[in-house]
Amino acid sequence: MSNFNADQLDAVLALAGLRHRPAVNQIELHPYCTSVDLCRRCADRGVVLTAYSCLGHGAGAAGLALLDHPVVAAIAARRGLTPAQVLVRFHVDRGVAAIFKSVTPARIASNLDACDATCRLAADDVAALLALDVGWRFCAAARVPSVCSNS
C-alpha cells in the first residue's frame, strides 16, 4: 500500500475475504510529519511501515530543511553522527524501513552506517525529533493533514 492513513489501513484489513494481507505501507515520514498513530497501528497489525522523504528535501516547515534543523544538528554533534545519519537512525529506532537517496556514493555509504547498532539514539533524542512534528509534507501533492497528524 502507499499513503494509506490509519483508518484506511484498518478498513482494508477488515475486508471480508481478503486473500492477501498488505505487508507494507509506504508513506512520507520524517520528524516534521511523524504519523505516530499510523506507526503504532501498522506495528500492531504486522504491517511494515516504509518511509520516503525521510531526509526531507528542500525547505521544510518554517522554511527550514530537516538537515539544517538545530535539534538535528545538536543530536548529530552529541552522537558523532551526520544530520542525515540522525534522520536515518530516527526511523531505524522506530522500527520503520527508511528509503533515502543521494547521488553521492560516499553519502549513501555514510547513511547506511547509521543502521549499525552503535548509532542508536537515546530516548530523549527520539522524543526531541518527534517534537518537531508540525504536520509538514515535503511532497506538496500529498499534503494531507490526516496522514501526518498524531491523532
CATH code of the domain in which 106 resides:
3.20.20.100
Please tell me the predicted confidence (pLDDT) of residue 51.
94
- For 38, the domain range is 26-148
C-alpha grid cell, residue 82: 551526520
Total domains in the chain come to 1
CA–CA distance, 52 with 74 (Å, rounded to integer) = 23
The verdict on residue 86 lying in a domain is yes
For residue range 93-114, list pLDDT tens digits in order.
999 999 888 888 888 888 888 8
The verdict on residue 73 lying in a domain is yes
Tell me which amino acid residue 68 is: D
CA–CA distance, 116 with 106 (Å, rounded to integer) = 16
Q: What residue ranges of the chain have pLDDT lower than 50? A: 143, 146-147, 149-151
C-alpha grid cell, residue 30: 520524517
The verdict on residue 10 lying in a domain is no
Please tell me the predicted confidence (pLDDT) of residue 151.
41
The verdict on residue 38 lying in a domain is yes
The verdict on residue 11 lying in a domain is no
The verdict on residue 93 lying in a domain is yes
The verdict on residue 36 lying in a domain is yes
Q: How many CB atoms lie within 10 A of CB 24?
A: 12
The verdict on residue 72 lying in a domain is yes
